[in-house]
């Protein structure tokens, strides 16, 4: 590879694809040639990147000739179908779907958490689930201080986690409610507006949802620790953007609130936002469109001195997806 790189964005017209392009621009990623790829229905669409207008092409097995880095955000089935062709053509694939996350030969990476795993790749690197990424941004500094034995987490997930159409549906529901019209319901099993849905993804045989088990399995894989006890409950809220999570952890040794604040606040990509006397704590309203995850409500848990509870909010589309993928690409080119 040279100092400039040929980059393909697969799923360029989706919410995450659009965010990837925005972040590539903001971070001045060293692009020589850019190829925008999407489904057949988006073929021919015009997208401006920097000062140049690009025409979206249909993604096929022949789309990756000369590509160095392919950022995939087109869904698991398309990734399974097309990523091998990109690798065969010589590209490194950074995949945002669930297709390869638990594949033993595919690194699952959050750069701040386990960047060393990037270079074990055989052509494909997986981006974790958004809820796992956000949680681990606060878990990792605690884990490095005193090994985490148990995690209990409840997530409060924005519509953005289900894609651009889900965000549009929430907006349409609000407009319909204001006009006293029937609310459209397509992307979610129930009305999301003014509601809380305690189901994200399908239920599995153990009565946990697929989303909840992603948090369990992905956390263990990235921390290289199969002994962590994890229980997750994932919930969808009528919020446009940014996921929130209430997390309680048990560590192997005692920890004070002050020590936890110190550890979390100096960890890259995380900011402590915690002043309860002034009513200051993380909220999706203020964490949206930010790169950093924000942590607050940090407290010594009533379970014991080695327990800690906190609240974390992160932009699902940025750090939970697009930004994390671009950061992986940056790590790759740093090591050429």
DSSP 182-215: PPP-SSSSS--TT--BS-SS-B-TTS-BHHHHHH
Number of other CB atoms surrounding residue 89 within 10 Å: 17
pLDDT tens digits, one per residue of 196-209: 999 999 999 999 99
- Specify whether 245 is located in the same domain as 183: yes
Dist. CA 203–CA 234, nearest whole Å = 11
Per DSSP, 9 falls in state: E
Which domain covers residue 151, as residue numbers?
132-316
Residues 50-56, mean pLDDT to the nearest whole number? 95
Angstrom distances, CA of residue 99 to CA of 54, 77, 94, 125, 306: 28, 7, 11, 11, 36
Average pLDDT over residues 174-196: 97
pTM of the model: 0.96
If asked whether residues 122 and 239 sit together in one domain, one would say no
Rounded to an integer, what distance in angstroms lies between the CA atom of residue 102 and that of residue 309?
A: 28
Q: Are 21 and 7 in contact (CB under 8 A)?
A: no
Which candidate, 154, 153, 150, places its Cα nearest to that of 227? 150
Q: Are residues 109 and 200 in the same domain?
A: no
CB neighbourhood size of 80 (10 A)? 14
**CB-hemisphere CA count at 13 Å for 190?**
13
pLDDT at 78: 96
**For residue 9, what are the CA distances in angstroms to 56, 76, 134, 169?**
10, 15, 23, 25
Alpha carbon of 160 to those of 39, 119, 288, 289: distances in Å?
A: 20, 30, 11, 12
Give the CATH number of the domain where residue 78 resides.
3.40.50.720
Q: What is the CATH number of the domain that holds 218?
A: 3.30.360.10
Residue entry with tokens 């605690």: 142
Kindly tell me if the per-residue pLDDT of 316 is higher than 90: yes
User: Domain check: are 108 and 136 in the same one?
Assistant: no
pLDDT at 2 over 80: no
- What domain count does the chain have? 2
Q: Is the pLDDT of residue 1 over 70?
A: no
| Same domain membership, residue 187 and residue 61 | no
- Whether the pLDDT of residue 215 is over 90: the answer is yes
CB 90 within 8 A of CB 69: no
Is pLDDT at 195 greater than 90 in this prediction? yes
Q: What phi and psi, each to the nearest 5 degrees, are found at residue 72?
A: -100, 130
Do 107 and 251 belong together in one domain?
Answer: no
Would the pLDDT of 276 be above 90? yes
pLDDT of residue 164: 84
One domain for residues 9 and 88: yes
> Do residue 124 and residue 138 come from a single domain?
no
Task: Mark whether 124 and 143 lie in a shared domain.
Answer: no
Residue with tokens 């999570």: 245
Instruction: Report, as residue numbers or ranges, the catalytic residues.
Output: 130, 243
- For residues 193 and 308, membership in a common domain is answered with yes
- Which residues partner with 97 through β-bridges? none
Residue 326 has pLDDT above 70, yes or no: yes
CA–CA gap between residue 71 and residue 47 (Å, rounded): 16
| Residue 280 per-residue DSSP state | B
Domain check: are 54 and 73 in the same one?
yes
Residue 11, helix vs strand vs coil:
coil
Q: Regarding beta strands 243-251 and 148-157, do their DSSP bridges make them parallel or antiparallel, or are they unpaired?
A: antiparallel
Say yes or no: 47 and 153 in one domain: no
- What pLDDT does 140 receive? 98
> CA 214 to CA 56: how far, in whole Å?
32
Question: Average pLDDT, stretch 101-128?
Answer: 97
């Amino acid at each position: 590879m040279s100092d400039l790189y040929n980059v393909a964005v697969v799923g360029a017209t989706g919410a995450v694809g659009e965010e990837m392009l925005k972040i590539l621009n903001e971070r001045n990623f060293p692009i020589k040639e850019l190829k925008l790829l999407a489904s057949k229905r988006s073929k021919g669409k015009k997208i401006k990147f920097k000062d140049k207008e690009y025409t979206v092409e249909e993604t096929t097995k022949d789309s990756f000739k000369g590509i160095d880095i392919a950022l995939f955000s087109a869904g698991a089935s398309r990734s399974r179908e097309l990523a091998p062709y990109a690798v065969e053509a010589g590209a490194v694939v950074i995949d945002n779907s669930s297709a390869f996350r638990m594949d033993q030969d595919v690194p699952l990476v959050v750069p701040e958490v386990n960047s060393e795993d990037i270079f074990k790749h055989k052509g494909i690197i997986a981006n974790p689930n958004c809820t796992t990424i956000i949680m681990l941004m606060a878990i990792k500094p605690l884990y490095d201080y005193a090994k985490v034995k148990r995690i209990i987490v409840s997530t409060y997930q924005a519509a953005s986690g289900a894609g651009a159409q889900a965000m549009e549906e929430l907006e349409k529901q609000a407009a319909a409610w204001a006009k006293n019209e029937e609310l459209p319901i397509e992307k979610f099993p129930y009305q999301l507006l003014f509601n809380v849905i305690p189901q994200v993804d399908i239920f599995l045989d153990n009565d946990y949802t697929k989303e909840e088990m992603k948090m369990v399995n992905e956390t263990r894989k990235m921390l290289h620790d199969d002994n962590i006890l994890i229980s997750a409950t994932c919930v969808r809220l009528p919020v446009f953007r940014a996921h929130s999570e209430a997390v309680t952890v048990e560590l192997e040794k005692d920890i004070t609130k002050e020590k936890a604040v110190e550890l979390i606040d100096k960890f890259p990509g995380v900011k402590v936002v915690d002043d309860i006397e002034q009513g200051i704590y993380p909220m999706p309203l203020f964490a949206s469109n930010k790169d950093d995850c924000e942590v607050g409500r940090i407290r010594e848990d009533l379970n014991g001195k080695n327990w800690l509870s906190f609240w974390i909010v992160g932009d699902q589309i940025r750090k939970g997806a697009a930004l994390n993928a671009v950061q992986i690409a940056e790590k790759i080119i740093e090591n050429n």
